[in-house]
Amino acid sequence: MNNDNIFSGLKVVDLSSFIAGPAAAVILSDFGADVIKVEPPTGDTWRIGHKIPPQPRSHDSYPWHLNNRNKRGLSLDLKSPQAGEILERLVKWADVLIVNTPHPARKKLKFEYEDVAQWNPRLIYADVTGYGEKGPDASLPGFDITAYWARSGLLSLTRDAGAPPTLPPSGSGDHATAVTLFSAIAMGLYRRERTGKGSYVTTSLLAAGVWSCGVFVQAALCDATFFPLHDRMKPPNAILNVYRASDDVWFLIVLTPDKWPALAKAISRPDLLTDPRFIDAAKQTANSADLTAILDQVFESQPMSHWREVFNQAHLTFGVVLAPSEVVKDPQLRENDIVVPIEGAGGNLKFTVNSPMQVHGVVKVSAKRAPEIGEHNEEILREVGFETSEIEGLRGGGALGTAPERAQGDLVSRAHGS
């Protein structure tokens, strides 16, 4: 097996915060890239994501390690007079720069693409925004809940009739957008291989959300007729619906019309095949409430273990609705390296979620803990050409910030609104 990592030797400066940009950098690091995480001396706020409701509570900073593993850490006050020189040397060192700083702040700090491309014409400048670079809302702050979920149409659709929109799982839109940004970076690198030129590549939470909602947005673009919001008791299709077993486990059946006879026989209800209410797909749609009520009664008579065996024997597509605490016990995750060990994180954090792509014949880098604030300051600064006396000057001038203990305290204060 070839153990050479695909991005071995690739140098990445991750200047982004929270999730989408840093997670794209994690994917690069998983395949061997050398990633430097640059954050304020007070720390990226996502360091305390595990303390911000409604995140699951833990003593372990699990979201920080998930989105910043395998990186080296540099603390930098971008407002410091000395920050410009440090950024310039980092950009000259890097192959890829990932940013999500709002554009007005970028212009003020002079690290828009036009600024930094002068330092390194081969640079891949990767930009992730909330709503895109143009338009009336280009400068609005965006989180995945607001930009990816709410504004894209997804949040309006992922609920049942009569129910209000609800909060989606934190970071879900960010992680989808991270894969999009990683893909743009890979395209930029491929273009550089062919032309020798760098690129400005970008995506937004909104663009990724609309792509994820693409089937329905495309339908709206051609004035298609939409069904009402899903009603479990009266769905458009009773054999594409959610049901509950006798042990209170919810599951979905996802069947095409040609599978209806196999389902009726598998659940020992062949009589339904000759019932005039369900004789064909059109009749099933017209009488979906009746069929759903019958299937409810059938499925509530046996536990999920029974129905799992029935569906598997009949080759019927189904999916059990699992909570995260159940997902982590799924053997498919370990067998397919969807969850892998992480080294050095401490506490209960022994495993982490792997990035979702594999290349056969290539072994990913073993996951290692995320850095402490400024953990590799001196090492990195030396690597980009600063002498010992210069590093002391940067430290004394405040460009590298305060001690980690003070920084963590500042983060906690910010989280509580103080």
CB 81 within 8 A of CB 414: no
Residue 338's domain comprises 11-212+328-415
Tell whether 98 and 192 lie within a shared domain.
yes
Tell whether 136 and 193 lie within a shared domain.
yes
Strands 339-343 and 351-353: antiparallel
How many domains would you assign to the chain? 2
Tell whether 265 and 205 lie within a shared domain.
no
| Number of other CB atoms surrounding residue 364 within 10 Å | 20
Main-chain phi, psi angles of 237, to 5 degrees: -145, 110
User: Given 320, 336, 356, which residue is the final one in a domain?
Assistant: 320
pLDDT at position 3 is: 56
Q: Is 234 part of a structural domain of the chain?
A: no
CB 52 within 8 A of CB 18: no
CA distance 169 to 145: 9
Q: Is 230 part of a structural domain of the chain?
A: no
Tell whether 72 and 208 lie within a shared domain.
yes
CATH of the domain at 270: 3.30.1540.10
CATH of the domain at 34: 3.40.50.10540
Q: Is 6 part of a structural domain of the chain?
A: no
pLDDT at position 416 is: 36
Q: Is 226 part of a structural domain of the chain?
A: no
Residue 270 to residues 53, 295, 366, 383, Cα–Cα distance (Å): 50, 13, 53, 73
Tell whether 146 and 182 lie within a shared domain.
yes
CA distance 354 to 364: 10
pLDDT at position 402 is: 61
Main-chain phi, psi angles of 393, to 5 degrees: -65, -40
User: Given 278, 295, 320, which residue is the final one in a domain?
Assistant: 320
pTM value is 0.93
Main-chain phi, psi angles of 99, to 5 degrees: -135, 150
Which residues are CB-neighbours of 134 under 8 A, at least 6 positions away?
Answer: none
Closest CA to 253 of 262, 242, 261, 244: 242
User: Given 320, 341, 358, which residue is the final one in a domain?
Assistant: 320
Tell whether 88 and 168 lie within a shared domain.
yes
Tell whether 56 and 199 lie within a shared domain.
yes
Tell whether 346 and 291 lie within a shared domain.
no
Which residues are CB-neighbours of 317 under 8 A, at least 6 positions away?
Answer: 253, 254, 255, 259, 311
CA distance 370 to 76: 17
Residue type at 247?
A: D
Task: Respond yes or no on whether the N-terminal peptide bond of residue 261 is cis (omega within 30° of 0).
Answer: no
The pLDDT tens digits along the chain (418 residues) read 445 799 999 999 999 999 999 999 999 999 999 999 999 999 999 999 999 999 999 999 999 999 999 999 999 999 999 999 999 999 999 999 999 999 999 999 999 999 999 999 999 999 999 999 999 999 998 999 999 999 999 999 999 999 999 999 999 999 999 999 999 999 999 999 999 999 999 999 999 999 999 999 999 999 999 999 999 999 999 999 999 999 999 999 999 999 999 999 999 999 999 999 999 999 999 999 999 999 999 999 999 999 999 999 999 999 999 999 999 999 999 999 999 999 999 999 999 999 999 999 999 999 999 999 999 999 999 999 999 999 999 999 999 986 444 444 445 444 433 2
Tell whether 272 and 345 lie within a shared domain.
no
Strands 250-254 and 318-320: antiparallel
Main-chain phi, psi angles of 216, to 5 degrees: -80, -35
Tell whether 159 and 60 lie within a shared domain.
yes
Q: Is 200 part of a structural domain of the chain?
A: yes
pLDDT at position 401 is: 85
Which residues are CB-neighbours of 225 under 8 A, at least 6 positions away?
Answer: none
Q: Is 232 part of a structural domain of the chain?
A: no
Sheet holding 96-99, edge to edge: 71-75, 34-39, 11-14, 96-99, 124-129, 199-204
